[in-house]
Structures are given as structure tokens and as C-alpha cells.
């Protein structure tokens, strides 16, 4: 494998208050190859959104803090940059889109300004030029009346159009990496497919690598080259998408796969995983999945398993497989 675009090692993001220490992200490792799509999958509360915000160094302070780790992007450790240097990376070499296109756009600024300000900031273009390029960007994400849209406000657009505008914004400087945090969760299914298509075509055109964060395995199956499965702030399995779908090794991944409804299968009840994700303030002492794991044994509750490379490129955090 070529030198990865992004290397994340032992990333730990905690929320520290007087009462508790919440380990939202607890020692996460993964790589993103240039031009590839990495899917990060997990339930709500598994730490996947906090991981993505940590990469951008946008963890909500002052309680939230990246306490340890390395995030090496194009050879630089982002965690060692000053805030000013980091802001040169954001929106420029690394773009991000968020789950809620309704609230992620500023309601009182025109779409054109919100896209154009990225170009003004990073490309130092004039206002007029920024507007011209914004129209081009809107057209490239599939807006038919881009000339009018630049002068409209977010509330005048539908949810899918707003997410397209978000993508245009994030892609304005042709970043090497796009982080998409649940980009389709808030959208209708037909619009979801359009947005995913758009992301795929932009990736193919610009060679942008994508980190796609979702709890939707269908989206992962459609988009991802590689997959990281997160549970309780940790990576429990990581491999190529094919390997994860064809040969899931971790009991959690297996259980996730079984809980996908299959249309032509005549099952009485959909399989589900008993219990809920443990609170990050109060993790079990051993394997974090053990309390919900059908295969768990006594030893699972005692000792936290290491992430092991079981097959070439296929990592699993489970002692039983």
C-alpha cells in the first residue's frame, strides 16, 4: 500500500470535568489511502463523530480535549500545529460536511457568500471572483439555477439542496480529504442516493479521499473501500470493505451484519443486539462489548483485548477469534 494520506495513531479525546472523565475516543488507529473512501461505522455513542471532529481539531472545548495521539496528514502531525496553522488546513486541504444541513449553514448569509468566503480565505481571490467560482461550484454539485442560488439564503433551499451546497463549500478548495459526518442521515432516501452519487463522482474527478461516518451499513457497502468499525470509543475491527462484509470477525461486526434487514429473506423478527452502548463515562473493565456479546466468556470481562492483525490488513479487537 502506498503511503497513507492520513495516519491516525492512538488518538484519545476525552471530556474532562470535575465529576467525570468521559473517554469519547479512546486510542483509535486507522489509515486513509489517497483517493479512497474509508467508512467509519458504529452505533450512536461509539465515538465516530468525536473522532472526525478530532481530526479537524474542532472538539468542543473547554471540556473536550485531545489528550494523546498523532494525526499525520500529508506528513504533518496536525495535533502539533498552532491554531493558526491548523486553520490553514481546514477548508483548504481538509474539508468537512455535517449531518444536519438545516443547521450547518448560517441562516442569515447568502449561499454565495458562505461558499465564496472559503475561496477568499484560502485562495485569496477577490469577492467578484469568489462569486463567479461559487456559481461554478454550485453547478458542479448539480444546481441548475446556480446564478440565482448564490443570492439565496439557506431557508430557501430544500434539505438535499443544502447538503449539496455544503458539499460545494467543503470542496471549494479541492481538498485532499473530505470528512463526511453522517452526510445523508437527515435526508430522504432518494435524495440520499443522489448525494452519495455526487460524493462519489467528485471523488473520482478530483481524487479526494473521503472519510464517511455513518451508522448505515448500506451506505458503507455502497461507498467504502475500507471500513473501520467503532465501539465504545475504540476500533474493534478494521479491514477492506470486502473483507468486513464477506468475513466479519468481531462478534460486534457480525451482530451488526445480522441486524440488516434483507428483503427476500423471510425472517420472523429482525436480529438485534441486546442492551445499549455503554456510557463513555463508565466503561466495563474488560472488553467493552462483552456485556452484550453472545460469545462472551469469563476472561472477556477481565481483560481488554488488543487490536490484533489476524489476517493481512484485517485487524480485530477480540481474543476469541
Beta bridge partners of 95: 178
Scanning residues 260 to 289, which ones bind other proteins (CB under 8 A)? none
* Cβ density class 154-164: b for 16+ within 10 Å, e for less: beebeebbbbb
Residue closer to other proteins, measured from CB, 171 or 220: 171
**Beta carbons within 8 Å of 256's beta carbon, 6+ residues apart:** 41, 217, 229, 248, 273
Per the DSSP assignment, residues forming a β-bridge with 285 are: none
Query: Does 121 interact with other proteins (rule: CB under 8 A)?
Result: yes
Cβ-based neighbours of 87, under 8 Å, separated by 6 or more: none
Q: What is the CA radius of gyration of the chain?
A: 20
Of residues 49 and 238, the one with the C-beta less far from other proteins: 49
Asked if 112 touches other proteins (CB under 8 A), the answer is no
Choosing from 11, 66, 118, 161, the residue that interacts with other proteins (CB under 8 A) is 118
Q: Which is nearer to other proteins, 146 or 180 (CB)?
A: 180
Strands (E), the chain: 6-16, 21-32, 37-41, 64-73, 76-77, 94-97, 177-181, 209-214, 226-231, 234-240, 308-311, 314-316
Q: Which of 8, 104, 202, 287 binds other proteins (CB under 8 A)?
A: 104
Contact with other proteins (CB under 8 A) among 109, 260, 271, 295: 109
Q: Which stretch binds other proteins (CB under 8 A): 16-24, 96-104, 232-240, 308-316?
A: 96-104
Strands 209-214 and 37-41, how do they pair? parallel
Pick the closer one to other proteins by CB: 31 or 117. 117
Taking the least distance from each CB to other proteins, the nearer of 105 and 195 is 105
Cis before residue 62, ω within 30 degrees of 0?
yes
Q: Does 48 bind other proteins (CB under 8 A)?
A: no
Bridge partner residues of 6 (DSSP): 32, 73
Strand, coil or helix: 160 = helix
Helix (H) or strand (E) holding 115: helix 111-123
x/- string (CB under 8 A) for other proteins, residues 159-198? -------x--xx----------------------------
How long a stretch of residues is the chain?
Answer: 321
- For residue 138, the minimal CB distance to other proteins (Å) is 16
Q: Find the binding residues for other proteins in span 51-80 (CB under 8 A).
A: 56, 58, 60
Residue 150 interacting with other proteins (CB under 8 A): no
Residues that bind other proteins (CB under 8 A): 56, 58, 60, 87-92, 95-96, 98, 100, 103-109, 117-118, 121-122, 153, 155, 166, 169-170
Amino acid at each position: 500500500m502506498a503511503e497513507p494520506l492520513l495516519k491516525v495513531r492512538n488518538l484519545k479525546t476525552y471530556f474532562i470535568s470535575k465529576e467525570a472523565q468521559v473517554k469519547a475516543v479512546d486510542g483509535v488507529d486507522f489509515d486513509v489511502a489517497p483517493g479512497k473512501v474509508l467508512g467509519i461505522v458504529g452505533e450512536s455513542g461509539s465515538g465516530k463523530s468525536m473522532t472526525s471532529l478530532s481530526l479537524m481539531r474542532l472538539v468542543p472545548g473547554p471540556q473536550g480535549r485531545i489528550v494523546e495521539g498523532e494525526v499525520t496528514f500529508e506528513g504533518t502531525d496536525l495535533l502539533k500545529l498552532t491554531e493558526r496553522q491548523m486553520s490553514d488546513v481546514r477548508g483548504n486541504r481538509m474539508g468537512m460536511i455535517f449531518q444536519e444541513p438545516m443547521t450547518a449553514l448560517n441562516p442569515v448569509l447568502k449561499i454565495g457568500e458562505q461558499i465564496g468566503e472559503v475561496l477568499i480565505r484560502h485562495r485569496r481571490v477577490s469577492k467578484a471572483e469568489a462569486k463567479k467560482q461559487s456559481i461554478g461550484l454550485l453547478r458542479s454539485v448539480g444546481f441548475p439555477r446556480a446564478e440565482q442560488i448564490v443570492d439565496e439564503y439557506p431557508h430557501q433551499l430544500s434539505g438535499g439542496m443544502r447538503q449539496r451546497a455544503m458539499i460545494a463549500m467543503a470542496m471549494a478548495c479541492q481538498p485532499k480529504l473530505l470528512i463526511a459526518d453522517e452526510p445523508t442521515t437527515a435526508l430522504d432516501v432518494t435524495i440520499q442516493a443522489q448525494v452519495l452519487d455526487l460524493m462519489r463522482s467528485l471523488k473520482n474527478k478530483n481524487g479526494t479521499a473521503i472519510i464517511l461516518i455513518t451508522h448505515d451499513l448500506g451506505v458503507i457497502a455502497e461507498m467504502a473501500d475500507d471500513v473501520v468499525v467503532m465501539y465504545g470509543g475504540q476500533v474493534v475491527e478494521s479491514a477492506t470493505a470486502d473483507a468486513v462484509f464477506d468475513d466479519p470477525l468481531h462478534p460486534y461486526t457480525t451482530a451488526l451484519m445480522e441486524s440488516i434487514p434483507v428483503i427476500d429473506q423471510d425472517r420472523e423478527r429482525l436480529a438485534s443486539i441486546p442492551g445499549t452502548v455503554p456510557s463513555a463515562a463508565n466503561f466495563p473493565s474488560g472488553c467493552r462489548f462483552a456485556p452484550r456479546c453472545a460469545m462472551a466468556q469469563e476472561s472477556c470481562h477481565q481483560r481488554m483485548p488488543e487490536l490484533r492483525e489476524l489476517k493481512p490488513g484485517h485487524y480485530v479487537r477480540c481474543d476469541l477469534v
